Amino acid sequence: MVKELVNNLDEKMHKTIESLQRELASLKAGKANPSMLDRIFVDYYGTMTLINQMANVSAPEPRVLLIQPWDRNTIKDIEKAILMSDIGINPSNDGVAIRLLVPELTEETRKKLVKTVKKLGEDTKIVIRNLRRDTNDKIKKAKKDSTITEDESKELENKVQKETDKFIKNIEEIVKKKENDLMSL
């Protein structure tokens, strides 16, 4: 049972990294990326729906996002949701599709984005460390309850630490790569 904890830990840490990567992908980085709209919901006949579930979203040019709703009656609703979101881009509607022109990044905007990236990285590291702490607490409880030996406890704690170190290093690499991408645009 306790060995399952280490396997569950690995799975949870992977999901945490995936969450970080999704967050970083949705940042406005001077290039049009359909994932920028992944967090924007539209009131679609009384149901809050993601844009990509009600329209085709593509990037036909490096700085242009094209949103082609399957139901043309929803263009105004999609446009309104984009205006109310935090992406800071004004949509252009031609009655058939919506175009978003992603502005070039200024030096100041790049620095703000790098700060955001670093904060997301630190927050993710905190989640990883909390997962380590919770797993170690369960290992200690199992040792106290005599369901595992002292040696097994030490071995499991070492495995947990190695996994934690591996994921922390991975987070640092992901953050560094995103910073370099932002500064080189």
Smallest CA-to-CA distance from 23 within 131, 167, 120 is with 120
DSSP structure class, residue 44: E
What local confidence, expressed as pLDDT, does residue 185 receive?
60
Q: How confident is the model at residue 15 (pLDDT cuts 50, 70, 90)?
A: very high
| pLDDT for 29 beyond 80 | no
Cα gap 122→2, rounded to integer Å: 28
CA dihedral over 41, 22, 100, 179, signed as positive or negative: positive
- Which ranges of 31-185 does DSSP label H, i.e. alpha helix? 75-84, 107-144, 150-184
| pLDDT > 90: percent of the chain | 30
| pLDDT for 126 beyond 90 | yes
* Mean pLDDT of the region 55-68: 88
* Mean pLDDT of the region 161-169: 94
Smallest CA-to-CA distance from 137 within 16, 17, 2 is with 2
Question: Among 3-7, 14-18, 32-36, where is mean pLDDT lowest?
Answer: 3-7
- Report yes or no: 137 and 145 within 8 Å, Cβ to Cβ: no
* CA of residue 112 relative to chain centroid, distance: 17
| pLDDT for 94 beyond 80 | yes
Instruction: List every span in the chain annotated with CATH 1.10.132.20.
Output: 2-25+106-184
CATH 1.10.132.20 is held by the domain 2-25+106-184? yes
| pLDDT for 131 beyond 70 | yes
Question: Among 9-18, 88-97, 125-134, 168-177, where is mean pLDDT lowest?
Answer: 88-97
Average pLDDT, the chain: 86
| pLDDT for 33 beyond 90 | no
- Report yes or no: 160 and 139 within 8 Å, Cβ to Cβ: yes
Instruction: List every span in the chain annotated with CATH 3.30.1360.40.
Output: 34-101
* Mean pLDDT of the region 64-77: 89
Four-way CATH pick for 34-101: 3.30.1360.40, 3.40.50.720, 3.50.50.60, 1.20.1260.10: 3.30.1360.40
What local confidence, expressed as pLDDT, does residue 161 receive?
93
* Mean pLDDT of the region 109-135: 91
The owner of tokens 């569950």 is 8
What local confidence, expressed as pLDDT, does residue 30 receive?
65
As a three-state string, the secondary structure of 60-103 is EECCEEEEEECCHHHHHHHHHHHHHCCCCCCEEECCCCEEEECC
What local confidence, expressed as pLDDT, does residue 3 receive?
67
* CA of residue 130 relative to chain centroid, distance: 18
